[in-house]
Structure 1
């Protein structure tokens, strides 16, 4: 399948980028996965992860800028440090790895995380911080192959019991860092981004507008409503990944 760079496909992807970034700004995750699934109908499967990463980079950057005061830095630093090594590993095994098997493992983990209740004691919250070094490495590798890993990251951060703004902002930084390293990795191996420049530019601008709209809506959503919506989104994404892996 060749990419059709005519007006209609670019318009569809641009509108999808706006609404997907708005959803992500409200719920914390899920918009990027929806955009990736739509792009698979218009962009060759071998190219979609790299191109999607360019659009998501701008979306994540906008979210980082708008939620900068809400970042959870102790987790972010541990997550980002090992990512370049993971990206290098992902590039080495890109042609050999069973993509469906990886999706199945990720989605199963997400569904399991939804039935695990966060600790009720304020002193017993979250995972050991060292876990994020391991997570950052494996996310760096898997991000090259799967493209969107917000379900597993959202499931892990949910156990940290973060406020909704901090959860959205920290997930945004995870996505920003992951896409920076992913794009650098694909550029290193010679991926041709130029044929997608117009679409990426239009969709990227749309993600900024969508993130702003979502942030405005987020302020009026209660924590309980946000948590329920976030869990529903995670469950829907995980179910979709399992269906794709098994079909």
Structure 2
């Protein structure tokens, strides 16, 4: 039965590792707000063919965020969703149509510096008032870069929500973004069928990770949650800058 989870080019050990990483990544995001998507992308970049990396990661993240939003639906703050959705449509369309591909190092360094500035200083006013622009920029970048959840997290963090509101609202916004991105990759011709078993398995393990991480979230205070979130943001930003400057 497990063979159904394996695309032809992946060994059983690799499939098992990807399932475990999916659990761990969802656990991190459910407990601390974000970070899991970047961890998952980093491991998948090593284990998957480059052409499959961003599309497969996008669908797995769609399932993970949908599960997280669904389990905390009553905490979602819906006000920013319509504008973010419109912005995401624009960003995904531009990213899918434009032939321009920004150098990855430039995107990594730019996002990393922006995140550090937003954590250490007051987030820019437009991050709290313009969900549409946030959706456009982050959705455009995610077509090339993959894990831009940290960018969207700067927006949700600026809204001043409780820890449950922040995690659930962020998940709802990322569900929209990854959903639109996955549709665009399908339109562009990526064949998801050979990867369907692996994707389903990773989504299911991600849901288990979400349920486990939510138990940690319930035990944190809002203050400790924000400390953990800021710490993850800074570490992720530093890693992005390092990767961009060194190519690692």
What's the TM-score, normalizing by structure 1? 0.91
Work out the CA distance in 1 between the residues paired with 2:167 and 2:225. Answer: 11
* Runs (5+) with no aligned partner, structure 1: 120-124
The offset of 1:3, in angstroms, is 7.4
Q: Show the counterpart of 2:239.
A: 240
Describe how 1:143-162 pairs up with structure 2 within 5 A. Answer: 143-162=142-161
Q: Which runs of 4+ in 1 moved over 6 A?
A: none
In the other structure, the counterpart of 2:82 is: 77
Q: Distance in 2 between matches of 1:178 and 1:9?
A: 27
RMSD of the alignment, in Å? 1.9
Partner of 2:35: 30
Q: Kindly state the Cα deviation for residue 95 of structure 1 after the two structures are TM-superposed.
A: 5.3
1-structure distance, mates of 2:122, 2:151: 16
Indicate yes or no: 2:110 matched with 1:101: no
State whether residues 18 and 207 of structure 1, in contact with CA within 8 Å, keep that contact through their aligned partners in structure 2: yes
Decide whether the 8 Å contact of 1:107 with 1:239 is kept in 2: yes
Aligned to 1:219: 218
The count of residues paired between Structure 1 and Structure 2 equals: 240
Instruction: Name the stretch that deviates more: 9-18 or 68-77.
Output: 68-77
Equivalent-residue separation in structure 2 for 1:180 and 1:112 (angstroms): 29
Distance in 1, matches of 2:116 and 2:242, equals: 13
Structure 2 partner of 1:135? 134
Task: Kindly indicate which of the two structures has a greater share of residues assigned to helix.
Answer: 2
> Do 1:118 and 1:161's aligned partners in 2 also have CA atoms closer than 8 Å?
no
Q: So what's the TM-score if we normalise by structure 2?
A: 0.91
Conserved 8 A contact 1:126-1:161: no
- 7, 13, 21: which one aligns with 2:12: 7
Gaps of 5+ in 2: 1-6
Q: 1:41 aligns with which of 38, 41, 46?
A: 46
Cα separation, 2, equivalents of 1:196 and 1:95: 27
Are residues 1:184 and 2:183 paired? yes
- Inter-CA distance 94–65: structure 2 relative to 1 (3 Å threshold): farther
**CA pair 234-37 structure 1, distance change in 2 beyond 3 A:** same
2:73 equivalent in structure 1: 68
1:165 correspondence with 2:164: yes
**Deviation of 1:93 (Å):** 2.9
Deviation per CA, 1:124-163: give whole Å up to 9, x if none.
Answer: x98552x211111122211111111111111222222110
Q: Over residues 21-79 of structure 1, what are the superposed CA-to-partner deviations in whole Å (9 max), with x where a residue is unaligned?
A: 01100111100110100011111223211100111111011011011111111122221
